[in-house]
Chains A and B, each alone.
Chain A
Amino acid sequence: MKPLNQKQQHTHKLSFRKTTLLLGACLLASLVSISANAKQTTKQIRLSSDLATPVLSAGKSQNAYIRVALNGFELNNDEIRTPLNVAIVLDQSSSMAGQKIKQAKQAAKMAVNQLDEGDIVSIITYDSTVNVLVSATNASNKNALFNAINRIKARGNTALFAGTSKGGYEVRNFLSEKRVNRVVLLSDGMANVGPSSPYQLGQLGQALAKDGISVSTIGLGLGYNEDLMTQLANYSDGSHSFVENAADLARIFEQEFGQAKSVVAQDIDIKIILKDGITPIRIVGRDGDIIGNTIVTRINQIYSKQESYVVIEVNIPASQAGTSKNIANVEVNYNNMVANKRFELEDSITASFSESKEEVKEAVNTKVYVSAVKQLANEQRKEAVILRDQGKKDEAKAKLKQSSILLGRSAEYISSDKLRQESLDVQAEADAVAAPSAAEWNKNRKALRAKSYQIEKQQIDKKQRK
C-alpha cells in the first residue's frame, strides 16, 4: 500500500533502483538541459483562446463558442525525448486464438523494438486470470522481452479489469512526472471476469488518470465493447482505435508508441474564468466541471506538433453595438516534458459587438468555427448512436441527416471545405446508423464510437491524414 503522496515516493524509489550508470546519465542530461535553458528560452506549448465569432450581433443575448487550443512544440532530433514508462496489456483469451494472437504478438514485438534503453516496459497478459509476463523493467534487454512475448498463448476468458489493474500497478512502480506513464490495452472481447461495465472501467481510467497514467485502448475485431474501451481511455485522453483486421495491429501499435514518444507536455490544467455576466452552458465533448462562472478541465498530454483543444459553450448577454468586452481569462498550468518543469500560461478572450451581419460573418475565426461545429456535430453523432441503441433506427438516421444539413449550412456560411467533407461523411453515417442487420450495426457502431472518440480527443490517425 502506498500513501497518498506517492508520486514523490516513486521518484525516490526509482533513483534507488537505477543503476549508477543510469543515474549518471540522468544527471548529465539534466545538466545539459539546465545549460540549454540558460542559453535560450524554454520552448513552450502555444495557447490560443478564441471565440468562433469574435464579432457578435449587438443587442441580443446569445450563445457563443470558445475554443481553448494548445499546440505542441516541435521536438528537434537532437533533443532527448521524454522516456516512456509503459505497460503493454494483451488479451490472450481464447477468442484471440489464431491470426489475432499471432499479429498481436508481432505488433507487441514491433512496439518493444521502438523503445530505447531509457524506457521502462512491462508486459501483462490476461485471460481468465492475469499474468505479469515481464514486470516493469528497463527496455534494454529486448531479447528477453521478445522471448516473453513468444510464450503468449490464447486460452480462457477475459479478465480485462484485472489486466488493466496490473498494468497500472507496473506503471505505478516507476511512476514519474518525467516520464510518459501509459497503459496500452489490447482486447478483442467482452470483459467477462471482474467488473465489466463501461462505468466501472471508466472509473478505473479516471483513477489512473489522477495518478498521471494514461490508458490507450485498442479494440480488435468485432467482439469487444467499444463503450467500455472508450470510457477507459477517456479520462486520461488516451487514444482509442478500432482495428477490424488484425493485420493493422502493427500499424496501430507503431502509431501509439510513436505518439507516446512525442509527448511534450503532460498534466495540463485548464481554467477558464468567464467575465461580466457571461455564464457557462457546457463543455462540449469533454469531461470537466463548472463552478459558478469558472470552467475547469484538464488534458492529460500534448504531442509534438499536434493541437488539442476544448470547446466551451457560453451565454453572452446583450451588448451595445460598437462595444467590446472581455469574455474570459484562460489559465493553463502544465508540465513541460522537455524542461521538466511546470509552467503557467495565460490568455484572454475579447469580443466586440456589431449590428452588421456582414461584419459578424467577416470576423468569423474559421479554424475555431470549424472546431466548434465539428464538436457540436459529434455530440449529435453520439446522440444518434444512443437512439439506435434504443431501437429508434429512423430517429437516429434523422438525427444524423439533420446534423449533415447543419454541417452543410455552416460549411457554406464560412465556405469551409473541411466542413463540406464532414457533412458528406455524416450523410454516409446516417445510412450506417440505420444498418438493417445486427451484425452490420455492431461493426458500424464500433466505427462510429471510435470516430466520435477521436474527434473529441483530436486524435490523429495517420492513415486518415494521408
Chain B
Amino acid sequence: MGTQLLRNEKVVQEHQLQQLVSSQLREADQIILSYFSELESALLKTPPFARNVNTSKFLTNNADAIRNHILKSPYIENIFILSANGQLLFPNKLNASRKEQEFITQNGSLWSTMDAFHPETPADINSEKQRRTNAEKNDDSSFSVSGALSKLSRGQKSEDLYAEQKSAVANSASLQPPLAEKKRKKVNTGHGWTVWRTGTETHIFFWFWDSNNQLTGLKLANAFWLAELINQLPDDRNAVDFIGDARIQLINEKQTVMYQWGQFEESLIENIQPKGQRLLGHPLDGWRLAYFAPNSNDDSPQWLLYLMFILIISAVLASLGFYMFREYRRDMRTAEQRVTFVNQVSHELKTPLTNICLYAELIEAEVDDNDGVGVKNHENSKIHKYSKVLTTESQRLGRLINNVLSFSQSQKKEQRIEPQEGSIDNTILAAVEMFNPAFEVKNIQIDMDLKASKPAMFDHNALEQIINNLLGNIEKYASHGKYARIESTQTDNTTQIRIQDHGPGIDKKLSKRLFEPFFRGNSKLTEGVSGTGIGLSIAKELCQLHGGDLIVEQNIKKGASFLITINTPQAASQATSQITPQK
C-alpha cells in the first residue's frame, strides 16, 4: 500500500515537474525572444545611409559612412544595400575593398533573387505558425531528442541543395492578406531576419526596406549577438534562483552546446535524456533549449520516504527473525541441557542396568534348568515371559543410554569407529533379534533379504546402533504400517542396507532437516511419542564416520525408506566361518 501511495505521489510530482520544466524553459525562451526583439529595434536605428539619395550620389558620399559604421559596430560584420530595381548599391563592385569583394562573391546569390528579403506569403506564415505550435506542443509533452533530430535532418537536406531561406516578419501589421497584392505592386515593406546556411557556416541577416524602396541588409557578427545573448541569460550568480539545481543548455542546429547554466553537471551522467526541450523561433531556427535535472527517484524526498518504508519493514522483519531465532536457540538449549543431564547420569545408570540385564538373563537360565525339577510348567512360562520383558526393556534402556553417550562424544568430536572383522548380515540379524519382542508386541511383520554375509571390516557396535535407531523409529512412529523390510547388499568395499516401513512416510520438506540433532519432524507424527531427537542424527554421523552416508529415499510408494551406505573393506583373511550371532 505504501508503494502504491508513493507511486501516486510520484505521478503527481512528475506532472508538477513537467509543468516546472516547461515554465522554466518558457522563461528562458522569453529572454531570448526579448533579446532579439530589442536587437531588432536597435538595428532598425541603423543610420539611413541610403535614404533620400540618388544612386550616383550614394556611391561617392555614403560608402565611407557605411564602412565606418561596419568598422565601429560590433554587431555588424557587413552591410549591403540594394536599390529598388535590385541593383547592388553597396558594396559597389567597382569601388569595393578586398574584403567587400569577398563578401560579394560569397553572398551574391543571396541577393540575385530578392526572395529572401520579403515578408512571407500567407501560406508560409501559416507554416511558420504551425511550426511554432508544434514546438509548443512538443515542449509540453517533453518530446524526445530523436524527434528533434529527424526534424532537423529534414531541414538539412534542403540546405545542401541551396541555402535554406526563411524569413519572418516582425511587423505584424503588414502580415494581413493584402500583402500579396502589395508584393505584386512591387511595394516592399517591413523588416525581418534571413538565415542563410552555406556549407558549414550560418549567416544571419537582418534586413529592412526603407521609404525609397531600398533594401538594407546587415550581416550580423554571430559571435557578438551570441555573446550578448549569453550576457542576458543566467549564470552561476542567479541560475539557482531560475532553475534550482537543474541545468539548461542552449543548443544550436548542429547540436553543439552554445551556452549552459545551472549547477547540475549533466555531462557526468552517461546517456542522460533531457527532462524537457523547447525549440526556438526565428532567427534561431533549429536551435533548442534542453532542460536537465537529476532523476527524481535518485534524490528527492519521496525517494527518502520509500527508503524509510523499506527500512522500517526490514527492521520489523529483522526483529521478528531475531525473536524466532532466539526461541529456536532456547529450544535447542533446553534439549541440549536435557542430553547433558542424561549424559551425566547415564554413566551412573549403565552399571545398574548391566546388572539388571545380567540377572534377568540368570533368572531365565535358572527357569530353564528347573523345567524338569517339578515346578509347574505354567509357572515357568510366566517367569519366562516376565524375564523376557525385563530383558527387552533393559536393552531398550541400554540403547537409549548408548545414543546419549554417542551424541555427547560426537559433540566433543571424540567419536571414533573401530573396524573389526565380521559379517554384516550377522550384525543385522543380531539387531533385529533384539527388536523381535517389541515388534511381536506391536504386531510388526519383519521381512529380510540379506546378501552381505561376506566377512568385512566394520564397527559392529556402530552398525548395530545405526540399525537400532532406525528400527527404534519404526517401532515408535511406523508401527501402524505393521511391516518392516531390511535388505542388504555388498560389493567389494561397500555395503548398503535399506530399511523400509509402511508407516505414514516422511514429508519431503522435512527430509532435509530430519538429520539435525533435536529436530523432531514437528507434526502429528511425533505428538505423544517421546523421543530425544538425536537418533537419526547419530545414525547419520556414524554412517559418515564409516565412510558412507544415511539418506532418506525419495519417491517411495508407501512409508519411509532409509538407505545406509558404509565403507566395508574386505577382511584380510578370507574367512568364511560363520560368526555366531551376538547375544
Q: Which A residues form the contact surface with B (CB < 8 A)? A: 1-4, 128-132, 156-157, 159, 161-162, 164-166, 168-169, 193-195, 200-201, 203-204, 206-208, 210-211, 289-292, 296, 298
Q: How large is the interface on B (under 10, 10 to 19, 20 to 34, 35 or more residues)?
A: 35 or more
Q: Flag whether B235 is at the interface (Cβ < 8 A).
A: yes
Q: Is B71's CB under 8 angstroms from A210's CB?
A: yes
Shortest Cβ distance from residue B464 to the other chain A in the assembled complex, whole angstroms: 80
Q: Flag whether B97 is at the interface (Cβ < 8 A).
A: yes
Shortest Cβ distance from residue B567 to the other chain A in the assembled complex, whole angstroms: 69
Q: Is B261's CB under 8 angstroms from A129's CB?
A: yes
Give the CA-CA distance A129 to B262 in the complex, in Å: 7
Give the CA-CA distance A166 to B262 in the complex, in Å: 16
Provide 30 A-B residue pairs closer than 8 Å at the C-beta atoms, listed in order of the A residue: A1-B35, A1-B38, A1-B42, A1-B232, A3-B42, A4-B42, A4-B45, A128-B260, A128-B267, A129-B235, A130-B236, A131-B237, A132-B235, A132-B236, A161-B226, A162-B230, A165-B230, A165-B231, A168-B227, A195-B258, A203-B221, A204-B227, A206-B221, A207-B74, A207-B227, A210-B74, A289-B98, A291-B67, A291-B95, A296-B97
Q: Which residues of chain B come closer than 8 Å to A161, judged between CB atoms?
A: 223, 226-227, 230, 258-259
Q: Is B235's CB under 8 angstroms from A203's CB?
A: no
Give the CA-CA distance A432 to B98 in the complex, in Å: 35
Task: Give the contacting residue for B227; candidates A157, A164, A298; CB below 8 A.
Answer: A164
Q: Which residues of chain B come closer than 8 Å to A166, judged between CB atoms?
A: 230-231, 235
Q: Is B95's CB under 8 angstroms from A292's CB?
A: yes
Shortest Cβ distance from residue B240 to the other chain A in the assembled complex, whole angstroms: 11
Task: Give the contacting residue for B222; candidates A156, A203, A296; CB below 8 A.
Answer: A203
Task: Give the contacting residue for B223; candidates A3, A169, A203, A292; CB below 8 A.
Answer: A203
Of all chain B residues, the one with the shortest Cβ separation from A1 is: B38
Q: Which residues of chain B come closer than 8 Å to A203, judged between CB atoms?
A: 77, 221-224
**What 0/1 readout, one digit per residue, does chain B (52-87) give for beta carbons within 8 Å of chain A?**
000000000000000100011111010000000000
Q: Is B95's CB under 8 angstroms from A194's CB?
A: no
Q: Which residues of chain B come closer than 8 Å to A129, judged between CB atoms?
A: 235-236, 239, 247, 260-263
Q: Which residues of chain B come closer than 8 Å to A3, judged between CB atoms?
A: 42, 45
Shortest Cβ distance from residue A187 to the other chain B in the assembled complex, whole angstroms: 16
Q: Which of B242-283 contact A (CB under 8 A)?
A: 247, 256-263, 265, 267
Q: Which residues of chain A come closer than 8 Å to B493, judged between CB atoms?
A: none
Of all chain B residues, the one with the shortest Cβ separation from A208 is: B74
Q: Which residues of chain B come closer than 8 Å to A4, judged between CB atoms?
A: 42-43, 45-46, 73, 75
Of all chain A residues, the one with the shortest Cβ separation from B72 is: A210
Task: Give the contacting residue for B259; candidates A1, A157, A168, A194; CB below 8 A.
Answer: A194
Of all chain A residues, the one with the shortest Cβ separation from B262 is: A129
Q: Flag whether B99 is at the interface (Cβ < 8 A).
A: yes
Instruction: Tell me the interface secondary structure of chain A in the complex.
Output: mixed
Q: Is B99's CB under 8 angstroms from A162's CB?
A: no
Give the CA-CA distance A289 to B71 in the complex, in Å: 11
Give the CA-CA distance A195 to B202 in the complex, in Å: 13
Q: Is B228's CB under 8 angstroms from A1's CB?
A: yes
Shortest Cβ distance from residue B265 to the other chain A in the assembled complex, whole angstroms: 6
Shortest Cβ distance from residue A183 to the other chain B in the assembled complex, whole angstroms: 11
Interchain residue pairs A-B with the least CB separation, the first 8: A131-B236, A1-B38, A207-B224, A203-B223, A165-B227, A207-B74, A204-B223, A291-B97
Give the CA-CA distance A201 to B95 in the complex, in Å: 30
Give the CA-CA distance A131 to B260 in the complex, in Å: 12
Of all chain A residues, the one with the shortest Cβ separation from B257 is: A193
Q: Is A128's CB under 8 angstroms from B224's CB?
A: no
Shortest Cβ distance from residue A214 to the other chain B in the assembled complex, whole angstroms: 13
Q: Which residues of chain A come closer than 8 Å to B312, judged between CB atoms?
A: none
Shortest Cβ distance from residue A3 to the other chain B in the assembled complex, whole angstroms: 5
Given A165-B227, A291-B97, A292-B95, A200 and B222 touching (CB < 8 A)? yes
**What 0/1 readout, one digit per residue, does chain B (121-164) give for beta carbons within 8 Å of chain A?**
00000000000000000000000000000000000000000000
Q: Is A289's CB under 8 angstroms from B99's CB?
A: yes
Q: Is B221's CB under 8 angstroms from A132's CB?
A: no
Of all chain A residues, the one with the shortest Cβ separation from B96 is: A291
Of all chain A residues, the one with the shortest Cβ separation from B77 is: A203
Give the CA-CA distance A100 to B236 in the complex, in Å: 22
Q: Flag whether B363 is at the interface (Cβ < 8 A).
A: no
Q: Flag whether B353 is at the interface (Cβ < 8 A).
A: no
Given contacts A1-B35, A165-B228, 4 further A-B contacts (CB under 8 A): A130-B230, A130-B235, A166-B235, A207-B74
Residue in B67, B72, B75 with the greatest tally of chain A CB atoms within 10 Å: B72
Give the CA-CA distance A128 to B267 in the complex, in Å: 9
Q: Flag whether B525 is at the interface (Cβ < 8 A).
A: no
Q: Which residues of chain A come closer than 8 Å to B545, judged between CB atoms?
A: none
Give the CA-CA distance A54 to B479 in the complex, in Å: 136
Of all chain B residues, the one with the shortest Cβ separation from A287 is: B99
Q: Is B224's CB under 8 angstroms from A289's CB?
A: no
Q: Which residues of chain A come closer than 8 Å to B335, judged between CB atoms?
A: none
Shortest Cβ distance from residue B82 to the other chain A in the assembled complex, whole angstroms: 21
Given A195-B223, A208-B74, A290-B98, A2 and B230 touching (CB < 8 A)? no
Given A159-B260, A211-B74, A132 and B237 touching (CB < 8 A)? yes
Of all chain A residues, the one with the shortest Cβ separation from B43 is: A4
Of all chain B residues, the one with the shortest Cβ separation from A291 is: B97
Q: Is B223's CB under 8 angstroms from A200's CB?
A: yes
Q: Is A169's CB under 8 angstroms from B231's CB?
A: yes
Q: Flag whether B39 is at the interface (Cβ < 8 A).
A: yes
Task: Give the contacting residue for A128; candidates B221, B226, B258, B265; CB below 8 A.
Answer: B265
Of all chain B residues, the one with the shortest Cβ separation from A124 is: B235
Q: Is B42's CB under 8 angstroms from A201's CB?
A: no
Q: Which residues of chain A come closer than 8 Å to B247, judged between CB atoms?
A: 129
Give the CA-CA distance A128 to B265 in the complex, in Å: 8
Residue in A2, A4, A168, A201 with the greatest tally of chain B CB atoms within 10 Å: A4
Q: Which residues of chain B come closer than 8 Å to A156, judged between CB atoms?
A: 265
Of all chain B residues, the one with the shortest Cβ separation from A196 is: B256
Of all chain A residues, the one with the shortest Cβ separation from B94 is: A292
Q: Is B261's CB under 8 angstroms from A194's CB?
A: no
**What 0/1 readout, one digit per residue, does chain B (86-122) give for beta carbons within 8 Å of chain A?**
0000000001111110000000000000000000000
Q: Which residues of chain A come closer than 8 Å to B99, judged between CB atoms?
A: 289
Q: Which residues of chain A come closer than 8 Å to B260, judged between CB atoms?
A: 128-129, 159, 193
**What 0/1 readout, one digit per residue, does chain B (2-39) give for beta carbons within 8 Å of chain A?**
00000000000000000000000000000000010011
Q: Which residues of chain A come closer than 8 Å to B261, judged between CB atoms?
A: 129-130
Shortest Cβ distance from residue A281 to the other chain B in the assembled complex, whole angstroms: 11
Q: Which residues of chain B come closer than 8 Å to A210, judged between CB atoms?
A: 71-74
Give the CA-CA distance A35 to B171 in the complex, in Å: 54
Of all chain B residues, the one with the shortest Cβ separation from A298 is: B71
Q: Which residues of chain B come closer than 8 Å to A2, judged between CB atoms?
A: 42
Q: Which residues of chain A come closer than 8 Å to B223, judged between CB atoms?
A: 161, 195, 200-201, 203-204, 206-207
**What 0/1 readout, one digit per residue, does chain B (553-577) give for beta carbons within 8 Å of chain A?**
0000000000000000000000000
Give the CA-CA distance A73 to B408 in the complex, in Å: 111
Shortest Cβ distance from residue B3 to the other chain A in the assembled complex, whole angstroms: 37
Q: Which residues of chain B come closer than 8 Å to A164, judged between CB atoms?
A: 227
Give the CA-CA distance A15 to B35 in the complex, in Å: 26
Shortest Cβ distance from residue B161 to the other chain A in the assembled complex, whole angstroms: 25
Give the CA-CA distance A234 to B42 in the complex, in Å: 28
Q: Which residues of chain A come closer than 8 Å to B228, judged between CB atoms?
A: 1, 165, 169
Residue in A164, A165, A211, A298 with the greatest tally of chain B CB atoms within 10 Å: A165
Give the CA-CA distance A200 to B77 in the complex, in Å: 13
Of all chain B residues, the one with the shortest Cβ separation from A206 is: B221
Q: Which residues of chain A come closer than 8 Å to B230, judged between CB atoms?
A: 130, 161-162, 165-166, 194
Shortest Cβ distance from residue A428 to the other chain B in the assembled complex, whole angstroms: 35
**What 0/1 readout, one digit per residue, does chain B (37-51) give for beta carbons within 8 Å of chain A?**
011001101100000
Q: Which residues of chain A come closer than 8 Å to B258, judged between CB atoms?
A: 161, 194-195
Q: Is A207's CB under 8 angstroms from B75's CB?
A: yes
Given A1-B228, A289-B99, A291-B97, A194 and B74 touching (CB < 8 A)? no
Of all chain B residues, the one with the shortest Cβ separation from A193 is: B257
Q: Is B221's CB under 8 angstroms from A290's CB?
A: no
Give the CA-CA distance A210 to B68 in the complex, in Å: 11
Of all chain A residues, the one with the shortest Cβ separation from B221 is: A207
Give the CA-CA distance A48 to B224 in the complex, in Å: 35
Q: Which residues of chain A come closer than 8 Å to B262, judged between CB atoms?
A: 129
